[in-house]
């Protein structure tokens, strides 16, 4: 039986003379790995060979695990062309795709994460350059939330003590899953380099963004705050993936 899903390729490898093996982050299946026979032939059923960071409407025949599904047809829903015309947009999209590659698993359906990724790539393609770091930060926070790796953002992730607000700083501990109070920070396991001290403005930003399923375009946030929160989230990504994202070496070009 043919199935259908929206899907974003996260790895494409050429196979034989004309085919591709494509790993996709799909809305209905989680990680979907399939063979696209004849994808490089002039006439094919996929509107050309598959490319990374494009959203397709894909029809496929599912195979048991282990085994590749057969990709039958695909239609481009959005090619996110802006990503391909600007270095900063390209870097951000590549980082997002690398993250999806790290967390997607077969039969692990996470439609909310899919929708978040698709919406963020739409912003990366077309929103103003000033607002892109803001959308990246939002993706990082919401993705960690949706996967269950980010706990407290306004209270201690260990004991639940509320963050007192204002300018009071807090500790961010990626192993504990978010903010920790002073007392718990002394007792908790800490990641290499220790917990990060996040100033009150950073805690506020983390909390605000975590509560917005779809943030409005904004360029009014100070770069310093964005950087501080991003540094915390990078620690969380490294904890989740058990290695740093390779694309982080290019982050200077967008932060």
Q: Name the residues that contact Zn ion, by CB under 5 A.
A: 156, 158-159, 161, 181, 184
CA distance 26 to 31: 6
Cβ proximity to Zn ion: between 159 and 212 the closer is 159
Distance in Å, CB of 176 to Zn ion, minimum: 9
State the number of CA atoms in the 13 A half-sphere of 5 facing the CB.
Answer: 26
Distance in Å, CB of 181 to Zn ion, minimum: 3
CA distance 104 to 88: 24
Cβ proximity to Zn ion: between 81 and 182 the closer is 182
What CA dihedral angle connects 64, 67, 73 and 76, to 10 degrees?
110
CA distance 169 to 197: 7
Cβ proximity to Zn ion: between 38 and 151 the closer is 151
Distance in Å, CB of 197 to Zn ion, minimum: 15
If one counts every other C-beta atom within 10 angstroms of the C-beta of residue 255, the result is: 13
Cβ proximity to Zn ion: between 83 and 153 the closer is 153
Distance in Å, CB of 177 to Zn ion, minimum: 12
CA distance 232 to 135: 16
């Amino acid at each position: 039986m043919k199935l259908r899903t929206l899907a974003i390729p996260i790895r494409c490898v050429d196979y034989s003379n004309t085919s591709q093996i494509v790993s996709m982050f799909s809305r209905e299946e989680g990680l979907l790995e399939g063979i696209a026979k004849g994808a490089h032939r002039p006439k094919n059923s996929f509107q050309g060979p598959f490319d990374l960071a494009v959203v397709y409407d894909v029809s496929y025949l599912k195979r048991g695990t282990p085994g590749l599904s057969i990709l039958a047809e695909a239609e481009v829903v959005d090619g996110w062309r802006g990503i391909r015309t600007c270095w900063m947009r390209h870097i951000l999209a590549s980082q997002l795709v690398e993250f999806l590659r790290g967390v997607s698993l077969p039969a692990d359906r996470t439609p909310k994460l899919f929708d978040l990724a698709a919406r963020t790539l739409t912003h990366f393609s077309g929103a103003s350059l000033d607002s892109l770091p803001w959308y990246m930060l939002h993706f990082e926070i919401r993705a960690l939330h949706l996967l269950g790796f980010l706990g407290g953002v306004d209270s201690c992730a260990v004991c639940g003590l509320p963050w007192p607000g204002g300018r009071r700083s807090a500790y961010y501990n990626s192993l504990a899953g978010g903010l920790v109070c002073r007392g718990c920070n002394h007792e908790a396991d800490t990641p290499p380099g220790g917990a990060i001290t996040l100033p009150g403005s950073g805690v506020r930003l983390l909390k605000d963004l975590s509560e917005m399923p779809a943030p409005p375009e904004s360029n009014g946030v100070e770069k310093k705050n964005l950087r501080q929160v991003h540094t915390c989230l990078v620690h969380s990504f490294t904890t989740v993936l058990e290695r740093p994202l390779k694309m982080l070496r290019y982050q200077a070009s967008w932060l």
